[in-house]
Amino acid sequence: MKLLLQQIIQLAEQAGDAILEVYQRDIAAQGIHAKQDDSPLTDADLAAQQIISARLYQLTPDIPVLSEEAAATPWPERQHWQRFWLVDPLDGTKEFIKRNGEFTVNIALIEQGKPVLGVVHAPVLEKTWAALKGEGALVQHQGEQYRIHASKPKSGETVKVVGSRSHPSPELAGYLEQFECYEMVPVGSSLKFCLVAEGEAHVYPRFGPTMQWDTGAGHIVAEEAGATVAFDGLDDAPYHREQLLNPNFLVSAL
Binding residues for substrate: 68, 90-93, 214
Backbone angles phi, psi at 175, to 5 degrees: -65, -40
Annotated binding site: 68, 88, 90-93, 214
Is-contact 78 99, C-beta < 8 A?
A: no
Binding residues for Mg(2+): 68, 88, 90-91, 214
Please say whether the beta carbons of 49 and 69 come within 8 A. Answer: yes
* Exposure string for 153-169, b = 16+ CB within 10 A, e = fewer: beeeeebbbbbbbeeeb
Residue 249's nearest CA partner among 231, 223, 222, 228 is: 231
Ranges of beta strands (E only) in the chain are 33-34, 40-41, 65-67, 83-91, 104-111, 114-122, 127-132, 137-141, 144-148, 159-163, 182-186, 203-206, 228-231, 249-252
Residue 209 and residue 232 in contact, taking contact as beta carbons nearer than 8 Å: no
CA distance 55 to 140: 21
- Give the total residue count for the chain: 254
Residue 11 CA to residue 130 CA, distance in Å, equals: 12
